[in-house]
Amino acid sequence: MRTLFTYIMVFPRRSAFVLVALLAAGIAEGLSLTALLPLLSIAVGEVNDPGIGQFMVEVLQSIGIEPTIDMILLIIVGGMFVKGLILLLASRQVGYTVAHVATALRLDLIEALLASRWEYYLRQPIGSLANSVATEAYRAANGFEHSVNVLALSVQVLVYAVVALFISWQATLASLLIGLALLMILHRLVRATRRAGAKQTHLLRHLLTYLSDVLSSVKSLKAMARDNVADAILHDQTQQLEKATRREVMNGAALMALQEPILAALTASGLYLALVIWQLSLPEVMVMVFLLTRILGLLNKTQRRYQQLTVQESAYWALRQAAEDARAAAESTTGTRVPTLTKGIHLHHVTFDYDKKSIFTDLNITIPIQSFTTVMGPSGAGKSTFLDLLCGLTEPKSGEILIDGISLHDINLRQWRHMIGYVSQDTILLHDTILNNILVGEPTLDATDAERALHQAGAWGFVSALPEGLQTVVGERGGLLSGGQRQRIAIARALAHRPSFLILDEPTSALDPESEQTICETLKKLSKELTIIAVSHQPAVINAADRVFVLSNGEAEPQLQTLSGA
C-alpha cells in the first residue's frame, strides 16, 4: 500500500490522468452491463420490479426510448463499443505515462549519480547502475501502472457497492463480506509473491554487477582458463533468479486458479441460501447474482493487480534508494568566485588522506601559466589523486590549492572545470563519427571548433586524408584508428572548448615511439598558449616538459631537467 500511495504522491498529475481514464473505461463497462438489469426484468416479465431495473426503464422512457428487448440489446452492444473506445484511449494514456515514469526514474538516478562526489561515484558498480537504469526503471514503471489500476479498480468497487446498496443492501453486504473473506484467504499468495519480487530485484542487481565485471576482464580469464569459475558463479546466480521467477509465476497462477473455484463455491452457497432457505423470488435472486459476481469479480481483479504490483514494487524502492544515496553523497560546491588563469596554480602545504591512508603530507607545487609540467612517481604515490585535486574532484584535508591566488574552495567549481581540458589514461572513443567524438554533445560547439581542435592536436592531417573526414565512424571504442590517432582525437576533444588548462593522465603510455614523439611535439607547441600538466613516466614526455616533479612519500620534489634541452 505504501508503494501505491508513494507512486501517486510522486506522480500526482499523471496518476490523476490515468485514474480518470481507467475509471471512465470502467464506468462505461459498468453502465452497459447495468442495462442488463431491465432486460432481465423484461425477460422475466417483471417490468414493475422495484430497484434499478425499474429505474433504468424510467430513464429510457424519459428520453423517449421504449425499453424493448432489441432496444436494450442494442444499448448493451453500443455501450460495449463506447467502452472499447474509452479503453483504447485509457490504454494509450497508461502506456505513455508508464514510459514517462520509466524515463523520469532513470533521469533522476543518472542526474543524482553524476552530481555525486567522485569518490562515491567510483564505488558504484557499473553493472548495478546499468541494471537500475534498464531493468529496475522498467519494472518500477510497470509497478506504477499496476498501482493506478489497483486504485481505479478499488474506486470502481466502491462506486459499485454504493449503487448496489440502493438495489439490495443485503446482497451488497453479503458480496462485500464474501469478497473480504476471499481476499484474506488468498493474501498469503500475495505475500509470497512480494518476497519473490524482492528476491528477484536483489539477485538481478548482483548478477548484473558480477556479469559486467566478468565481461570486462573476460580476455584475461579466458587466457588463464579461469572462465569456467566465473561461469559457475554466474550459473548459480542465474539459477537462483530462475527459482525466484518460478515462485512468482507459481503464486500468480495459484491466485488466478483459486479465485474462480472459491468464488464459485461462495456464490453457490449464496444462491442456495437465497433460493432454498430464504425462498426469494427469481428477479431478486438474479439481481443478487448479478451484484455478487460483479462486485466479487472486481475485487478479484483488484487483488490480481495488487499481486502484480508486489512483484515490481521492490524495483521501485531499490531505484529510489540508489537515487537517494547518490543525492546524499552530492558534491558540495560552495564556491562562488569566478575563476581566472592568468598567473598560475599553486598547491600550498596540501595534505590528503583516503580514510586512514595518508597520500599527501605536505605537497607544494607551483605551475606557472603557459608551461608544460610533468609529474611522475611510483605506482600508488598519488599521481591520479593529484590530478583529481586540481579538478576539484576531491578536496585537500588541509592546505590550499590556489588558482591565480584564490582558493579552489571559494571558486565556482563548474566554471573552473569548464576551463579544463582533460585527457584520461584510457582513451575510450564512442562508436560514432570523429566529429561527434570531439563535440560529445556540447551544443555550443560546431564543426569549426572540431577542425581547429584537430589542427591544435596535430590530427588534422590524418583526419582530412580520410575519405569521409570528420564524418568517419571510428568503430567500437575507436578500434578503426591507431592508438596514436585515438590519443590525438582525445586531445582534440579536450581542446575543442578552448580550455586554459590541459590535464593529461599518461597520455602516451600505449603509443609507439613515433606517435609518442608527434604528441609530445603537439603538447610542446600547445604549451605556448595553454598551461599543461601531464602525469607520465615516458622519457619523451619528460623531455618535452619545462618542469618535472616527482611525487613520493606524500611530497613533491622538483627534478632537474637533464635529459632535454627544454
By CB under 6 A, the count of residues binding ligand ATP is 13
| 380 lies in the binding site for ligand ATP (CB under 6 A) | yes
Q: Which is nearer to ligand ATP, 306 or 360 (CB)?
A: 360
**Alpha-carbon span 527 to 549, nearest angstrom:** 17
Contact call for residue 399 and ligand ATP (CB under 6 A): no
Cβ atoms within 10 Å, residue 101: 27
Counted residue by residue, the chain has a size of: 566
- Minimum CB distance to ligand ATP smaller for 128 or for 518: 128
Cβ at position 382, least distance to ligand ATP in Å: 4
Task: Please list, residue by residue across 439-455, b when 16 or more beta carbons sit within 10 angstroms of its beta carbon and e when fewer do.
Answer: beeeeebeeebbbebbe
Please identify, using beta-carbon distances, which residue of 287 and 420 lies nearer to ligand ATP. 420
Identify how many contiguous H helices and E strands the chain contains and give both numbers.
20, 10
The rounded distance, in Å, linking the Cα atoms of 421 and 407 is 20
Stretch of 3-11, 262-270, 354-362, 427-435 contacting ligand ATP, by CB under 6 A: 354-362
Shortest spacing between CB 255 and ligand ATP, in angstroms: 48
397 lies in the binding site for ligand ATP (CB under 6 A): no
User: Mapping DSSP to helix (H, G, I), strand (E, B) and coil, where does residue 49 land?
Assistant: coil
Interface with ligand ATP includes 351 (CB under 6 A)? no
Edge-first strand listing for the sheet containing 547-552: 420-423, 501-505, 531-535, 372-376, 547-552, 555-559
484 binds ligand ATP (CB under 6 A): no
Q: Is 365 in the site for ligand ATP (CB under 6 A)?
A: no
Closer residue to ligand ATP (CB): 108 or 505: 505
Write out the three cell numbers for 235: 550459473
| 169 touches ligand ATP (CB under 6 A) | no
Answer yes or no whether residue 119 interacts with ligand ATP by CB under 6 A.
Answer: yes
What lies within 8 Å, CB to CB, of 566 at 6+ separation is 372, 524, 543, 544, 545, 546
Q: Say whether residue 381 binds ligand ATP (CB under 6 A).
A: yes
Q: How far apart are CA 536 and CA 375, in angstroms?
A: 6
- Whichever of 119 and 331 has its CB closer to ligand ATP, that residue is 119
Find the binder of ligand ATP among 122, 158, 162, 215 (CB under 6 A): 122
**Candidate ranges 21-29, 309-317, 379-387, 405-413; the one touching ligand ATP (CB under 6 A):** 379-387
Does 379 participate in binding ligand ATP (rule CB under 6 A)?
A: yes
CA distance 31 to 18: 20
CA dihedral of 410, 414, 415, 418, whole degrees rounded to 10: 140
Task: Pick the closer one to ligand ATP by CB: 105 or 381.
Answer: 381
542 binds ligand ATP (CB under 6 A): no
Residue 385 sits in the site that holds ligand ATP (CB under 6 A): yes
DSSP letter string, 419-449: TEEEE-SS----SSBHHHHHHTT-TT--HHH
By CB under 6 A, is residue 546 in contact with ligand ATP? no
- Helix, strand, coil content of the chain in percent (nearest 5): 65, 10, 20
Query: Would you give the DSSP letter of residue 350?
Result: E
- As measured in angstroms, the least distance from the Cβ of 136 to ligand ATP is 25
Task: Check if the beta carbon of residue 537 is closer than 8 Å to that of residue 531.
Answer: no
Least distance from ligand ATP to the Cβ atom of residue 409, Å: 20
Interaction between residue 356 and ligand ATP (CB under 6 A): no
> Can residue 354 be called a binding residue for ligand ATP (CB under 6 A)?
yes
Least CB distance from residue 122 to ligand ATP, whole Å? Answer: 5
Q: Which residues bind ligand ATP (CB under 6 A)?
A: 119, 122, 354, 357, 359, 377, 379-385
